[in-house]
Structure 1
Amino acid sequence: MLYANQSQTNITVGLQYQELLGTVMFAILTSVPCCVFLSINGTMLFTLRSKPVFRETSRYILLYNLLFADTVHLVQSQLMYILAVCRLRLIYPVCGFLIMLTNLTNEISPLTLVVMSLERYVAVCYPLRHATIITIRNTGLAIMMVWGFNSLNIITRVLLGSNVPFENSENLQMEDFCGKDSMLIDPISDHYDKVFTCFLFVSAGVAVISSYIGVIIAARSASTDKASAHKARNTLLLHLVQLGLSLSSALHNPLLVVVSKVVDRIMSVRIQIVLYVCIIILPRCLSSFIYGIRDQTIRPVLVYHLCFQWRRSPLL
């Protein structure tokens, strides 16, 4: 009997050690590429502020706003991931604040992509009026409207979530790691969240697709610059792909719920980490690669700063 209990204890300890080792390994595999991508995004942000041509051109200002929101979202996601790996439980108000910030930066990207698509549409379809419509002032106002609209949405969610009966809980300590599904979310707030997410991405998709169709129609006109129209069409296609990748982040939590009901805990954690890398990390890092490689103005400056950073690295 004693031998059986000891064997059972050894098996339990072995499984716990295997789970811990697997979690640590996957945490390292996700943290390393996240740090690399953050370094690249940071270099890209510095590049976009290093020369007057980037600071005084509307599309580069919009790109900076997109990269800034993606970088902040990546930092917040990695912070919450580390808290979950370390099994640190927060109190509900702190977790709610982190989730609201994550939602804010997550929804900046699709709206910024809409503004960037409209800018390309005006550049191709109304080239003579582009300089008067797409000004630095108007670009700044558009960015302020994007952040203001999303801030208003966050305030609405907070007001709807104020009906959650926290006072009925014994304390504000969370029983699980910080995450949207672990929060005490009011049903009305949950419905509003789903409706707003659908409305946001459907509207953004319609705007980008409409801009793409408008550029295609304008490209058939004899007075349109064919090279400029072709480049704008490819850029709008990339915007559509980026929008789809941003939408995939909204499917992250529902996928986790489905996975947790199908497989065991260890496999569920591993699948969760893979989904985190593919759905959260990678989409937030593609903008630097896409624009850094495609744009003839950004590419040499970005390569210079990356090479300078690589040479100055203390690890070399």
Structure 2
Amino acid sequence: MLNSSGIYSNSSQVSIIGSKTAEYVKLAVALLIIVCFCCFLYFMAVMLNVFFTTSNIRENSRYILFFHMLINDTLYIAFGVLLLLLAIYRVAIPGPICYVLYIIGSSTFRATAYNLATMALERYVAICHPLRHGELCTAQRAKVSIVLMWVVGLIPYATDLIIILASNNKLSSLNVVCTQETMVVNPVQIIIRSQSVIIGFTTVGLIIIFTYVRIILIAQKISSQSSFALKAGKTVLLHAFQLVLCMASLLSNVSEMYPNNYSAFLPLVNFLMYSCVPRFLSPLIYGLRDEVLRKYIRQTVLKSCRTVHVSKS
């Protein structure tokens, strides 16, 4: 079955191994994920400080979309770690809470792809229709597009919820081990989830390919803007690369079908490699490449270091 959230694995594959070595490895990987997430949160705090204290960045559609992606990825990792640990250690929670966590985690997974497509379209307008960029890519339109991302991302789960409620399932009154399979009460749900992910990611992929080709063609035709266009083309290519990394998380279940001796901690390793690493790279891929952001990030970090130094002395 296609893992539409990319967050946690099939609970039947998460076996409890009595070996102390396996438990130590599992704990070590979990701690590694948490430490990496804390470092990611620090960088996120620095970048959000830059965003909310710099008016020209806060009113720029490109940066609004970028910071939405960072916040979305933070939520994805946070809920992903929580759901994965609950599933691996088989902690039972109320069914409605499990479903809410599942919806948030899955929606943030989809929103990342939609955000990448929207950022690619913004670069396309900037290069191919520069005279209309100020009109089309306003801060208000960027915020509207963010709302639309979430509406589109939540539509499959509205249908999913209707099926669950119509099935007279007792899920709402039970404590369950929160996995994706727990939320399936009708085979139709699997079809809806799988098809919506396929359609969504295919659409995003086509948008990124289209924008990249158009930008490169413009770069070849207009020599005076070629350097700017080529840089935008590289940015869109990075969007495609990150989309591929996000799609890799959909294949994590495949790797868990065979090495059963490591099934206790393999979901944690898969989550770290396929789900966390692509999102940990986002600030580096987009934030530090941008000259404006890089300047403000450096200023914020130096300022915080001076503050810490003064407080200690």
Report the TM-score, using the length of structure 2 for normalisation. Answer: 0.85
Distance 1:287 1:127, change over 3 A: same
User: CA-atom RMSD, angstroms?
Assistant: 2.5
Task: Give, as a single letter, the amino acid of the residue that structure 1 aligns with 2:190.
Answer: D
Question: Does residue 227 of structure 1 match 2:227?
Answer: yes
**Could you say which structure has the greater relative contact order, defined with CA pairs below 8 angstroms and 6 or more residues apart?**
2
Q: Distance in 1 between matches of 2:194 and 2:71?
A: 25
- Count of aligned positions: 294
After superposition, residues 66-215 of structure 1 pair within 5 angstroms as: 66-167=69-170, 172-174=174-176, 177-215=177-215
Kindly state the Cα deviation for residue 223 of structure 1 after the two structures are TM-superposed.
6.5
Q: How far apart, CA to CA, are the structure 1 residues paired with 2:115 and 2:184? A: 31
Report the Cα offset of residue 308 of structure 1: 4.7
The alpha-carbon distance between structure 1 residues 307 and 89, as it changes in their structure 2 partners (threshold 3 A), is farther
The answer to whether the 8 A contact 2:26-2:265 is kept is: yes
Q: Deviations over 1:222-264 (max 9, x none)?
A: 3751111111010000011111122222333x33xx52x4233
CA–CA separation in structure 2 for the residues paired with 1:46 and 1:90: 35
Question: 1:284 and 2:284 equivalent?
Answer: no
Distance (whole Å) between structure 2 residues aligned to residue 215 and residue 264 of structure 1: 47
One-letter amino acid matched to 2:46 = T
**Alpha-carbon distance in structure 1 between the residues aligned to 2:188 and 2:115:** 28
Q: Measured at CA, do residues 309 and 105 of structure 1 come closer, stay the same or move farther in structure 2, by a change above 3 Å?
A: farther
152-161 vs 187-196, which deviates more?
A: 152-161
What's the CA shift for 1:48? 1.9
Distance 1:58 1:171, change over 3 A: closer
Match of 1:247 in 2: 247
Amino acid of the structure 1 residue aligned with 2:37: C
Asked if 1 retains the 8 angstrom alpha-carbon contact of 2:62 and 2:122, the reply is: yes
Who is 1:9 aligned against?
none
| Alpha carbons of structure 1 residues 172 and 202: separation in structure 2 relative to 1, 3 Å | same
CA separation of 1:310 and 1:250: change in aligned 2, threshold 3 A: farther
Could you tell me whether the CA contact under 8 Å between 2:88 and 2:264 is conserved in 1? no
Unpaired runs of 5+ in structure 1?
1-13
1:56-99 residue CA offsets vs partner (Å, 9 max, x unmatched): 11100111111111111111112223323543211222111110
Q: Which AA in structure 2 matches 1:269?
A: A
Moved more, 98-107 or 149-158: 149-158
Question: Secondary structure in 2 aligned to 1:153?
Answer: helix
Runs (4+) of structure 1 exceeding 4 A deviation are: 307-311
Distance 2:168 2:305 in 1: 52
- What residue ranges of structure 2 are gaps of 5+ in the alignment? 1-16
- Equivalent residue in structure 1 for 2:295, among 300, 306, 316: 300
What corresponds to 2:6 in structure 1?
Answer: none
Give CA-to-partner distance per residue, 1:258-316, whole Å, 9 cap, x none: 52x42335x1123222111011111122111112220000012213334455674999x
Counterpart selection for 2:260 from 254, 261, 264? 264
Q: Residue 294 of structure 1 aligns to a residue in which SS? A: coil
Q: Which whole-Å CA distance do the structure 2 matches of 1:250 and 1:307 have between them?
A: 39
Percent identity between matched residues is 27
Residue 46 of structure 1 deviates from its aligned partner by: 2.6
Report the CA distance between 1:127 and its aligned residue.
1.2
Q: TM-score, normalised by structure 1?
A: 0.85
Letter in 2 for 1:149: V
- Structure 1 SS opposite 2:92: coil
Match of 1:149, SS? helix
After superposition, the C-alpha distances for 1:116-148 in whole angstroms (9 at most, x for unaligned) are 111101111111221122122222222222122
